[in-house]
Structures are given as C-alpha cells and as structure tokens.
C-alpha cells in the first residue's frame, strides 16, 4: 500500500516546528528549516500524485 506523501508531510511538520522554535533567536537557521519544510511539502504533493496514478493503473 502506498502512503503517498505522508512521510514527507511528517518531515515538513517537524521542520516547521523547528523553524518556529528558532525564529526569534536564530532567524537564519529558522529560514533554512522553513525552506526544508517547503521542499518536503512539494515532495509530498508529488508523492500523492504518483500514488494516485499507481491506483489508476491497477
């Protein structure tokens, strides 16, 4: 069974949490975490689309 982008969404949530925690003390590091989260969200959408295509092929 294909979970689509569930793993990537979990990683994005983790990095968003880190970004929020570091925002005031380390804004540059928070920005890096935020960019990582955005990348994981992008990947999650792609994984969702791949999973949907795989369901349609069967």
Res 58: pLDDT: 65
Res 2: pLDDT: 64
Res 1: pLDDT: 47
Query: Where in the chain are the domains?
Result: 6-53
Residue of 12, 20, 17 whose CA lies nearest to 40 = 12
Q: Which residues of the chain have pLDDT under 50?
A: 1
Res 3: pLDDT: 78
Task: Calculate helix-pair angle for 27-57, 6-22, nearest 10 degrees.
Answer: 170
């Amino acid at each position: 069974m294909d979970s689509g982008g569930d793993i990537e969404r979990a990683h994005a949530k983790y990095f968003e949490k880190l970004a929020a925690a570091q925002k005031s003390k380390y804004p540059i590091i928070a920005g890096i975490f935020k960019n990582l989260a955005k990348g994981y969200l992008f990947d999650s959408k792609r994984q969702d689309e791949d999973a949907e295509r795989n369901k349609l092929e069967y």
